[in-house]
Structure 1
Amino acid sequence: MKNIKIKIVALLLIFTAGSCDYLDVVPENVATINDAFVDRASAERFLATCYNYLPNFGDPWVNPGIGAGDEVWFNEEIVESSFSSALIARGLQNANDPYLNFWDGSQRGKNLYVGIRDCNIFLEEIHNASDLTELERKRWVAEVKLLKAYYHFWLFKSYGAIPIIRENLPIYTNTEDVKVYRDPVDDVVNYIVELIDEAMPDLPERLISETLEQGRITQPIALAIKARTLVTAASPLYNGNTDYASVVDNRGIALFNQSYDESKWQMAADACKAAIESAHAANHSLVTSYTTKADISDTLERECVIRTIFTERNSPELLWGSTNFTFSQSYQRMCVPLLIQVTSSNPVSQFYAATLRMAELFYSKNGVPIEEDLNYDYQNRYELRTARTDESDFVRSGEQTAILHFDREARFYANIAFDRGTYFLDPTYYTVHTRAGELATKRNQGEFSATGYFVKKLINPNSAINTNTMLAYYEYPFPIIRLGDLYLLYAEALNESKSTPDADVYEYIDLIRERAGLEGVVESWEKYSSNPSKPATKEGMREIIKQERLIELAFEGQRFWDLRRWKDAAKYMNKPIKGWNIGGKGLNFYNVTTVYPQVGDPFSTYDFKDYLWPIRYNEIIKNPNLVQNPGW
């Protein structure tokens, strides 16, 4: 009877009538879950399946953090029905059949409730693996608890209040008990933290083998997930957001707390500090050096340092990388502009376009926003000037390009490739040519940048090109969490927990700025900004920290989620997507053009409803206890 019960529970989907593919967990012709835990090898396959529900972070079509926002834009010729994140960016999210539906696993979303269910099965049955050591058993249980916590976290940041699934329902559960309720946001957050705290003692500080265990959860990863969860919960979207006052279920329970609680920021700060200390103890550190094959200047070396923060396979800054979906050659091809004549008909795709908005985001070389810099010609930034010889590390000497591309911080040149800009692939220097008819313009259907910009950050300097295939790219696990992210989360949480920013707030943001070759926040604003007292106030420092995060974590899949939790998404998403005139020959290229008209397009207006995704309409019909998110 027990085996029958377990089998049925394993197949039961609380939120959908579909079925689950166990991948390689249950051998062919074996009928019960008990057989999946008959020995260590079988149990380890089930452990791998629990990991398999992690989102494909390196896939721009299914990671909303990459394609559903405003930092990259894909041209209209390449976007089709399967490019779910790009369709969300165009305002086409809907309740009938939501894109990237992680609630019940449709439209290229993974069914995270099935993932949670499988985690529960693992926790219930792992004791049956007879040849598993107690030390291994404890570690595996801790890993699965963390995965379960992370799946709840992903659902939380996507949908807000969600049903907490502490354990699987027994087979004898009646129909009404299956119709679960969404739990209030504060309860969800507390449960995620509870799971993490339970798991922490049995997780390793570092992986035993970086080669064999890459991607598995450690203590620094667990504490970083806790920090992200608590920062998200303390942020304006969830902390005293009165927009959700009407979200009350049929029991009369409010799903979003309407009272702002400053103590949530202190809890978040404490969690960030603990995560940083754990990472340091495990020998994680900021990337600050790069070994080059060529004799290059200090400024170009700094650019290479910044490019390898994200793209180095064994970066000391990387806490957790996605090994179930690396940022492979096929995806890197989208980012690289055609730099040389090639013989292959399709060596590059070159349609992963950075937006003009992102090009304007990065600081001036003085470390302040270009619109604030007293020495920056902001009003004439779209006009042209000729590059000097001493600027050849970033712009080809003697060539004309926009003033916008001169006198910028190192992170600008490390992140974005632009017309007449230098593109260094160690040890060779290339120049980007994007004006109509030139190398990096349209070749085949959909193979062009919609804005005239490309994302350089995702390409390691040790990648190489050749005249035949142009495919010798340096692959790496797509980073999920890195130490620099934690530093900035800590600075943000500290600032919000204090009445006035102090040295502790400045310390961690200044460590990030120092690596970028910039002076500290206070010094930079005093010397160069039209608003020199900005870092002295909580509000001013909040604005600085936000921009620092948007710059430092650009193109890493974080901007989309940050803009949502800050309730800033509408401020950005309702502006047109702009770039250069990619059809313009010669200097006619340098006319700012609207690529996609967000404002005025009835399908693209970012509304407060877009801060949380809809639960599929059919799920609401099947389970009336699941109150829908507002606006859907």
Structure 2
Amino acid sequence: MRNNKSLLIFFFVTLLTSCDKDYLDIVPDNLATVDLAFSNRYNAEKYLATCYSYLPNESGINQNPALNSGDEIWYPDTQRNSNGPTVAQGFQNISNPRFDYWVGSWGGKSLYIAIRNCNIFLENVESVPGVDQFVKTKWTAEVNFLKAYYHFYLLRMYGPIVINDEAISVSASTEDTRVNRNTLEESFEYVIATMDKAITGLPETLQFEDEEMGRITKPIAAAIKARILMEYASPLFNGNPVYNSVKNAEGKQMFPTSFDASKWQRAADATKVAIDLAESVGISLFQKEDYLDPLEQNDTTLLKSALRSRVTERWNKEIIWGSTEFSSFLQFSAMPRLYPYTTNPVASNHAPTLRIAEMYYTENGVPIEEDVNYDYTNRYKTKQASGKDRFYIEPGQKTAVLNFNRETRFYADLSFDRGVWFGNGRELDTDPWYIRARRGEFASIFEINNHSVTGYWPKKLVSMKTTVKSGTDFSAYRYAFPIIRLADLYLYYAEALNEVKGAPDNEVYRYIDLVRERAGLNGVVSSWAQFSKDPSKPTTKEGMRDIIRRERMIEMSFEGNRYWDLRRWKLLEQYMNKPIRGWSVLVNDLDDYYTVRVLHNPTFNQKDYLWPIKEEELINNPNLQQNPGW
């Protein structure tokens, strides 16, 4: 049994150390407090819970920058001063940075304080009386994982970081505490080595799941190590010439100046190890056959339901590591109004952009702009749904051509005007909800700050068991929001192998095709050969790179991967300097509604690839240097 099945009820938060603003790893002068914390098993486990308590809330709209800081989601104007939209609009700053995980403000927790607590735990765990060495070894491995993960979280955001590997004595001189940032390669190698140390001591599965819910296991650590190495190998950090002139206060080169192909091989090797380990303990893709259907639906509806459940099914065997924070607010923000209410029970303002709707494949498994059979030129015009469209669109109703003849993930992940919605008490093919989203209809604007500004909703994030009852009672079904799942690893592996090899081969195709097959699509080679205007695209390294990247953006949509992926691929400048668009949702007339509207023209600069360090920190520690451009 795996820990991702359960809620983190074991880890109640009991903070035993002060949460000051000093990110340095200083042993508190009240040593009696530390002695008490490790005086018995009960107190030590509470301190262990403290180390876990700093894990960022991955389902938190104002805590996870990847949910809404890019081009994937957009909000009404009145909501665009919150953290993610502020970053997406180009308004990040050095005085009070949004999602500040260095100091700990604006949705971020100070991960340096988290690392301090981890170091204190590691220095004292062996002194806890009455605890078996096996348990101490496991605790040590868990905290080494957390320490590595917190360093990586900072590294991914800020680039070169300050490595805090042990506590600094309170008697240390002022100069000793004015530390420099380590180089990027030192930072990555430290995180990888610490993760390796954790992996050796972690169990493959939990022995007592009821008592250890939410605890780290070997498959989790191996999967996150794969993610770390993918970041290390990718263009942003692997010989990016933009950073060639960046040096620290001592004159040391902070970024590698040349591309290192061996980093892709390391990433491929680590990802394969993680895949094999995950599969060996029963982790597998969540298939149509795994969806427990009480109503004997047809295959089309079953596939839609299973694909939606790959994220929202609580007992999902695909999720390697899931956040145990309650995703209620995320679901509240993502759910459309399904019928007229007297009040506003859902916000409906977490809206996918038109670019995301266009990203998904056609029913033939190729991009809409490449499919020889798809009416791409007329995609913004309207068309009436017939009986054959009934599993996706309300028969007899008109919607955009863009919403017809798409792959099943489009309909599992997105909701739109006249689209089908299962859940909220309705799961029968013959009796679904239909979204009515034009001005004056129940899914349209209810309040100026609570509506979809694009005309789309991320259905993928809302469990079919989440309900609105009696018009006002919103009841969210609790599930583990995925931090990393098996499909993620499959696509990482295909990407890394493609970069290692001179040309894609059957192994590269195999791992992307496993994800496509689960989605009801044919393999890459056959799909492109039959339906693409560029049938040889999968046969070249460059063509396959584009295919794998698009597959990742489709499969992992709305889960906080797109932003980090575009960033590590060094593509955010390409995507974030184009207009954010949606339908003209404030009108009722059919043709006017399906007129493309520009919502914002964002600006993304080279400096935005790395988070700024808060200005106050640079004043406190003159040895720290700000990130380039800030």
- Give yes or no for TM over 0.5: yes
Residues 520/8 of structure 1: CA separation in 2 closer, same or farther (3 Å cut): closer
**Normalising by structure 1, what TM-score?**
0.93
CA distance in structure 1 between the aligned counterparts of 2:37 and 2:629, rounded to whole angstroms: 44
In the TM superposition, structure 1's runs of 4+ consecutive aligned residues that sit over 6 Å from their partners are 7-12
Residues 511/8 of structure 1: CA separation in 2 closer, same or farther (3 Å cut): closer
* SS of residue paired to 2:295: coil
Corresponding residue for 2:10? none
TM-superposed deviation, 1:211: 4.3
* SS of residue paired to 2:126: helix
Corresponding residue for 1:301? 302
Say whether the 8 Å CA contact 2:445–2:586 is kept in structure 1: no
Corresponding residue for 1:581? 584
CA distance in structure 2 between the aligned counterparts of 1:14 and 1:589, rounded to whole angstroms: 52
CA distance in structure 1 between the aligned counterparts of 2:176 and 2:252, rounded to whole angstroms: 18
Corresponding residue for 1:326? 326
Which amino acid in 2 is paired with 1:484? A
Report whether the alignment pairs 1:335 with 2:334.
Answer: yes
TM-superposed deviation, 1:586: 2.5
Say whether the 8 Å CA contact 1:9–1:170 is kept in structure 2: no
Say whether the 8 Å CA contact 2:16–2:37 is kept in structure 1: no
CA distance in structure 2 between the aligned counterparts of 1:106 and 1:272, rounded to whole angstroms: 33
Q: Which residue, 413, 416, 422 being the options, matches 1:415?
A: 413
Which amino acid in 2 is paired with 1:468? G
Deviates more, 1:505-514 or 1:589-598: 589-598
TM-superposed deviation, 1:469: 2.8
CA distance in structure 2 between the aligned counterparts of 1:173 and 1:365, rounded to whole angstroms: 64
Identical-pair percentage? 47
Corresponding residue for 1:72? 73
Deviates more, 1:158-167 or 1:612-621: 612-621
Q: Which residue, 397, 400, 403 being the options, matches 2:398?
A: 400
Say whether the 8 Å CA contact 1:16–1:619 is kept in structure 2: no
* SS of residue paired to 1:186: helix
Report whether the alignment pairs 1:314 with 2:312.
Answer: no
Corresponding residue for 2:383? 385
Corresponding residue for 1:142? 141
TM-superposed deviation, 1:538: 0.4
TM-superposed deviation, 1:11: 7.3
CA distance in structure 2 between the aligned counterparts of 1:252 and 1:222, rounded to whole angstroms: 35
Residues 385/257 of structure 1: CA separation in 2 closer, same or farther (3 Å cut): same
Q: Which residue, 553, 566, 570 being the options, matches 1:567?
A: 570
Which amino acid in 2 is paired with 1:589? Y
TM-superposed deviation, 1:467: 3.0
Residues 214/74 of structure 1: CA separation in 2 closer, same or farther (3 Å cut): farther
Which amino acid in 2 is paired with 1:554? S
Say whether the 8 Å CA contact 2:24–2:112 is kept in structure 1: no
Corresponding residue for 1:601? none
Corresponding residue for 2:265? 266
Cα deviations by residue, 1:483-506 (Å, 9 ceiling, x for unpaired): 110100010000001111111111
TM-superposed deviation, 1:13: 5.7
CA distance in structure 2 between the aligned counterparts of 1:473 and 1:110, rounded to whole angstroms: 26
Say whether the 8 Å CA contact 2:19–2:113 is kept in structure 1: no
CA distance in structure 2 between the aligned counterparts of 1:368 and 1:14, rounded to whole angstroms: 51
Say whether the 8 Å CA contact 2:16–2:47 is kept in structure 1: no
* SS of residue paired to 1:64: coil
CA distance in structure 2 between the aligned counterparts of 1:292 and 1:226, rounded to whole angstroms: 36
Corresponding residue for 1:353? 351
Provide the aligned C-alpha RMSD in A.
2.1
Residues 423/210 of structure 1: CA separation in 2 closer, same or farther (3 Å cut): farther
Cα deviations by residue, 1:100-144 (Å, 9 ceiling, x for unpaired): 110111222110000000000000011221122211111010000
CA distance in structure 1 between the aligned counterparts of 2:467 and 2:416, rounded to whole angstroms: 19
TM-superposed deviation, 1:10: 7.2
Say whether the 8 Å CA contact 1:14–1:178 is kept in structure 2: no
Corresponding residue for 2:240? 241
Deviates more, 1:55-64 or 1:359-368: 55-64
Report whether the alignment pairs 1:115 with 2:114.
Answer: yes
Corresponding residue for 1:429? 432
CA distance in structure 2 between the aligned counterparts of 1:165 and 1:236, rounded to whole angstroms: 26
Report whether the alignment pairs 1:473 with 2:466.
Answer: no
Which amino acid in 2 is paired with 1:170? S
Corresponding residue for 1:25? none
Corresponding residue for 1:223? 222
CA distance in structure 1 between the aligned counterparts of 2:295 and 2:357, rounded to whole angstroms: 28
CA distance in structure 1 between the aligned counterparts of 2:184 and 2:213, rounded to whole angstroms: 32
Cα deviations by residue, 1:355-411 (Å, 9 ceiling, x for unpaired): 101000000000000000000000110011110101110000010000000000011
Residues 210/422 of structure 1: CA separation in 2 closer, same or farther (3 Å cut): farther
**What are the equivalent positions in structure 2 for 1:445-484 lying under 5 Å apart?**
445-484=448-487
**What are the equivalent positions in structure 2 for 1:53-202 lying under 5 Å apart?**
53-80=54-81, 83-202=82-201
Deviates more, 1:85-94 or 1:470-479: 470-479
Report whether the alignment pairs 1:541 with 2:539.
Answer: no
CA distance in structure 1 between the aligned counterparts of 2:107 and 2:54, rounded to whole angstroms: 12
Total equivalences in the alignment: 608
Cα deviations by residue, 1:402-427 (Å, 9 ceiling, x for unpaired): 00000000111111100000111124
Corresponding residue for 1:32? 33
Report whether the alignment pairs 1:596 with 2:595.
Answer: no
CA distance in structure 1 between the aligned counterparts of 2:154 and 2:59, rounded to whole angstroms: 19
Deviates more, 1:209-218 or 1:31-40: 209-218
CA distance in structure 2 between the aligned counterparts of 1:444 and 1:71, rounded to whole angstroms: 22
Which amino acid in 1 is paired with 2:146? L
TM-superposed deviation, 1:14: 4.4
Corresponding residue for 2:51? 50
CA distance in structure 1 between the aligned counterparts of 2:608 and 2:447, rounded to whole angstroms: 34
CA distance in structure 1 between the aligned counterparts of 2:502 and 2:622, rounded to whole angstroms: 44
CA distance in structure 1 between the aligned counterparts of 2:16 and 2:620, rounded to whole angstroms: 20
| Structure 1 stretches lacking a partner, 5+ long | 1-6, 23-28, 599-604
Say whether the 8 Å CA contact 2:24–2:164 is kept in structure 1: no
Say whether the 8 Å CA contact 1:396–1:420 is kept in structure 2: yes
**Normalising by structure 2, what TM-score?**
0.93
Q: Which residue, 478, 487, 492 being the options, matches 1:489?
A: 492
CA distance in structure 2 between the aligned counterparts of 1:74 and 1:31, rounded to whole angstroms: 50
CA distance in structure 1 between the aligned counterparts of 2:351 and 2:492, rounded to whole angstroms: 27
Report whether the alignment pairs 1:443 with 2:446.
Answer: yes
Which amino acid in 2 is paired with 1:298? D
CA distance in structure 2 between the aligned counterparts of 1:349 and 1:11, rounded to whole angstroms: 33
TM-superposed deviation, 1:12: 7.3
Which amino acid in 1 is paired with 2:467? A
TM-superposed deviation, 1:8: 13
Residues 246/104 of structure 1: CA separation in 2 closer, same or farther (3 Å cut): same
Corresponding residue for 2:203? 204
Corresponding residue for 1:510? 513
Say whether the 8 Å CA contact 1:348–1:470 is kept in structure 2: no
TM-superposed deviation, 1:30: 10
